[in-house]
């Protein structure tokens, strides 16, 4: 008897606790300073309405430089007066039991501290959930802790590991620089493109020949 009551109580508790556990999240929760990191904004639908718009405020000293375009969603970047990205807005539609995941690459600040990701979630019933509160509030803003103890990701970028050889190459070629030149580890010369085209043509020709 007691056992049955306990079970019922547990079931009620589990049911009641479930809806409150879903939050807008940003991963990872820890990141290294001055590092290009793959961030994921995870947006679960939490109402009897559909999420139609998500706006992420780009925190100070966070520099997004590449975005994944999720299917069915469109993205708009709003720029601040200095040309930096102020907010990123995604428009689309979530099922009531759906979630969306928006990925982007961004450089973390050079200083340690918390990145606070403020976000707005708009529903098709006209309501907006403002994820801007403290960590223990009802609608917390997601937080990524920037700490030197976190491993470097260097996601899609050329952070410290990758730029080290480039830096030494730059140093050795610097004295030989003529005016108005640019040193890069992998330059924007058209050579790779030309090589690619030539290789593709070759491949095509060879294939035709092979199957004749």
Binding site for another protein (CB under 8 A): 34-36, 63-66, 81-85, 105-107, 110, 154, 156-160, 162-163, 166-167, 170, 174, 177, 179-184, 186, 188, 192-193, 195-196, 199-200, 202-203, 206-207, 209-210
By C-beta, is 103 or 170 nearer to another protein?
A: 170
Cβ neighbour number for residue 191 with a 10 Å cutoff = 9
User: CB–CB of 119/41 below 8 Å?
Assistant: yes
DSSP state letter for 140: B
Q: How far apart are CA 136 and CA 43, in angstroms?
A: 18
User: Look-up: residue for tokens 């820890």?
Assistant: 30
> Tokens in use for 99?
């979630």
> Tokens in use for 44?
């679960």
Residue 28 preceded by cis peptide, ω within 30: yes
By C-beta, is 5 or 111 nearer to another protein?
A: 111
Least distance CB 81 / another protein (angstroms): 7
By C-beta, is 117 or 131 nearer to another protein?
A: 117
By C-beta, is 35 or 46 nearer to another protein?
A: 35
Least distance CB 24 / another protein (angstroms): 24
């Amino acid at each position: 008897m007691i056992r049955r009551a306990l079970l019922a109580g547990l079931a009620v508790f589990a049911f009641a606790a479930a809806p409150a556990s879903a939050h807008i999240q940003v991963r990872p929760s820890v990141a290294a300073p001055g590092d290009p990191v793959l961030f994921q904004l995870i947006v679960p639908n939490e109402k009897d309405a559909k999420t139609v718009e998500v706006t992420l405020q780009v925190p100070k000293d966070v520099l997004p430089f590449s975005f994944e375009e999720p299917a069915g969603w469109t993205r708009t970047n709003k720029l601040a007066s200095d040309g930096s990205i102020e907010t990123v807005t995604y428009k689309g539609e979530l099922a009531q039991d759906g979630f969306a995941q928006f990925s982007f690459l961004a450089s973390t600040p050079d200083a340690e501290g918390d990145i606070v990701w403020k976000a707005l979630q708009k529903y098709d019933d006209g309501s907006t959930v403002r994820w801007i509160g403290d960590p223990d509030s009802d609608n917390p803003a997601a937080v990524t802790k920037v700490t030197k103890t976190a491993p470097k990701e260097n996601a899609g970028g050329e952070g410290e590991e990758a730029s080290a050889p480039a830096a030494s190459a730059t140093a050795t070629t610097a004295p030989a620089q003529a005016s108005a030149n640019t040193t890069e580890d992998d330059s924007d010369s058209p050579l790779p493109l030309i090589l690619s085209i030539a290789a593709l043509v070759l491949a095509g020709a060879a294939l035709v020949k092979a199957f004749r």
